[in-house]
Amino acid sequence: MRRPHPAGALRTRDCRRHVVAFARGARAYETPGDPTARGEETAISETTGPAGPNAGDGPDDRPAAAGPPAVELRGITKRFPGVVANSDVNLSADRGEVHAIVGENGAGKSTLMKTLYGLHKPDEGEILIDGKPITFSSPSDAIKAGVGMVHQHFMLADNLTVLENIVLGSEPTRFGFLDRRRARTKVKELATAYHLDVDPDALVEELGVGDRQRVEILKVLYRGARILILDEPTAVLVPQEVDELFGNLRELKAEGLTVLFISHKLDEVRAVADRITVIRRGTTVRTVDPNEVTARDLAQLMVGSELPEPELRGSTVTDRAVLSVEKLTVLAANGRPVVDGVDLTLHAGEVVGLAGVEGNGQAELVEAIMGMRPSAGLVRLGDQDLSAWGTRERREAGIGYIPEDRHRHGLLLDAPLWENRILGHQTQKPNVRGAFVNRKGAREDTERIVREYDVRTPSVDVSASSLSGGNQQKLIIGREMSHQPVALIAAHPTRGVDVGAQAAIWDELRRARADGLATLLISADLDELIGMSDTLYVILRGRIVAQVDPHSVTPEELGAAMTGAGEAA
């Protein structure tokens, strides 16, 4: 949804060109220690070349653009030890184009974009900007050439203001000090020109997800980006925020900017992209016109199978309460309740969905249930009161946990897979023998998880960081399900994974439900919540404000209830 211009706003294309001219002149900087350099999407098992009869660039009926493409990748190959992440990839995008890049996790999408952004050096091939070959040794080089990247996991300093985050590293100065007036003026001009409205004086920690994303986009525009790479930009947005983002992208496109849009949400890329390039097993399969393909066609190109659907088959819900919370309350540092008197009950064989815009207490609720955050109220597992128990005791009692952020709370990225299998279950077999770690038992069970959950890896000795996002998630789920939990807290279990991994995770949740597992499902994917829930609640400002029927509610109605804009059916 496009935001209206405020009174006195810059409205003309000339003003926008003035803003872009300033942004291009801003001093570039290199982000130190970029944590994404390891790459969530680095392929580890796909070492083959073209993936099928359609391999290579497909036909493109798009009229030829005036002048050379804004960006062109020719024959890009990127190897890691024992792995070919990208193999002879060819892709081009014009000025004023939104170009989507889709593929499974591990297909090489993010590796390719990180190569374009200077985080990786290609082993073969070349990058052309406006028709001229160019070599990037670092993100600083890419930024100077007009390439900017908005990462899937936002890279903002929560304790700084919007303005401070945007100019950080490229601060305009006067007499050696930050020229706040000049910085504020230019940021406001950029925000107005591209309808990226956000309060420059707001602390980032107080912003919602949609506003944080606008700050990230403003950061790259401020540094003069004419080519924007967006990595899974809609992963954490509700439908209304997605509409606003797409409006912003159309504004950028209208001003001649190029947007490279990485996503696995096929209906969304069809709605916003001018062209879509499919990558499979590290190489380009085909570039298509979104008006000439369906989501199922794209899924077929990506994985060779139909698009999976989130749905439950039959009812398995019993009347036996497994996990319940009563009057659960969590306070913020300032004493404000972020979880406010929540009551929930999960029954055997039931999936309870919890829908809410991020920042409305879901994360704090999960942490309180898992004993990771001080809280008031009761947490019961069957007849046992766990309220005073620690996280380890709650896990040992039978609560499984799929964390919201697998990198921060689910994995030790630098540790091998078999050590990650032990994580969170250090006192349980087969990870221990007596008082000592059972390395042999942990390794053997990790090999079983790799087989049963289709974790694509050459060895259980490789680091978790070398797996794609989908394979990391399957490892976590295999670990948690290996201890036969009676209740499972699944926070965003399919976030940032492709359709193949998504289908595997849904299948596992359905199987566990049929076996009597009680599951609390939290997700930003409303189709997933609606399709995979037996019971569905809405949380707003830390309180349960509605129960909706997952069989009849629409994503639009659910999104309205989540924002407080209307009542769900």
Last residue of a domain, one of 461, 483, 505: 483
171 and 233 part of one domain:
yes
Helix (H, G, I), strand (E, B) or coil at 333: coil
331 and 462 part of one domain:
no
pLDDT value of position 542: 94
Rounded CA separation 369/401 (Å): 10
Helices 439-452 and 469-481, packing angle to 10 deg: 120
421 and 549 part of one domain:
no
Rounded CA separation 319/297 (Å): 42
Tokens of residue 433, six digits: 């023998």
158 and 212 part of one domain:
yes
9 domain residue, yes or no: no
18 domain residue, yes or no: no
Q: Find tokens 């809410």 and name the residue.
A: 356
125 and 226 part of one domain:
yes
322 and 353 part of one domain:
yes
pLDDT in tens, 252-301: 999 899 999 998 788 889 999 999 999 988 899 999 999 999 887 888 88
pLDDT value of position 192: 86
pLDDT value of position 1: 38
What string of pLDDT tens digits covers the 569 residues of the chain?
334 433 333 333 344 444 334 333 333 333 333 333 333 333 333 333 333 333 334 444 444 456 899 999 999 999 987 778 899 999 999 999 999 999 877 788 888 999 999 999 999 999 999 999 999 999 999 999 999 998 877 788 888 999 999 988 877 777 777 778 888 888 888 888 888 888 889 999 888 888 888 899 999 899 989 999 998 888 777 777 888 889 989 999 998 999 999 987 888 899 999 999 999 888 999 999 999 998 878 888 887 666 667 888 888 999 999 999 999 999 988 889 999 999 999 999 999 999 998 889 999 999 999 999 888 999 999 999 999 999 999 999 999 999 988 888 899 989 999 999 988 888 788 878 888 888 888 899 999 999 988 888 889 999 998 887 788 999 999 999 998 999 999 999 988 777 777 888 899 999 999 999 999 999 988 999 999 999 999 999 999 999 999 999 999 899 999 988 754 44
Residues near 163 by Cβ (< 8 Å), separated by ≥ 6? 180, 183, 184, 187, 200, 201
10 domain residue, yes or no: no
Cα 223 versus chain centre, distance: 24
Please state the domain count of the chain: 3
Cα 425 versus chain centre, distance: 26
164 and 253 part of one domain:
yes
**Rounded to the nearest 5°, which phi and psi values hold at 87?**
-135, 110
Rounded CA separation 35/289 (Å): 34
In eight-state DSSP terms, residue 458 is S
pLDDT in tens, 296-314: 788 888 876 666 678 888 8
Asked if residue 430 has a cis previous peptide bond (ω within 30° of 0), the answer is yes
Angle in degrees, CA 285, 286, 291, rounded to 5: 145
pLDDT value of position 92: 95
505 and 465 part of one domain:
no
Last residue of a domain, one of 303, 325, 356: 303
479 and 540 part of one domain:
no
Rounded CA separation 201/493 (Å): 34
CATH number for the domain harbouring residue 490: 3.40.50.300
Helix (H, G, I), strand (E, B) or coil at 557: helix
* Closest by CA position to 318, among listed 345, 337, 292, 354: 345
Rounded CA separation 349/316 (Å): 5
- pTM for this structure? 0.59
Q: What is the DSSP string of 514-531?
A: HTT-EEEEE-S-HHHHHH
Name the residue range of residue 238's domain.
Answer: 42-303
Tokens of residue 194, six digits: 């591209």
92 domain residue, yes or no: yes
Last residue of a domain, one of 273, 303, 333: 303
389 and 535 part of one domain:
yes
* Closest by CA position to 208, among listed 218, 198, 200: 198
Helix %, strand %, coil % for the chain, to 5?
35, 25, 45
* Closest by CA position to 368, among listed 396, 398, 399: 399
* Closest by CA position to 91, among listed 261, 293, 272: 261
479 and 495 part of one domain:
no
96 and 116 part of one domain:
yes
* Closest by CA position to 187, among listed 152, 214, 213: 214
Residues near 113 by Cβ (< 8 Å), separated by ≥ 6? 101, 149, 229, 231, 260, 262
541 domain residue, yes or no: yes
37 domain residue, yes or no: no
33 domain residue, yes or no: no
Rounded CA separation 445/547 (Å): 40
28 domain residue, yes or no: no
Name residue 126's amino acid: E
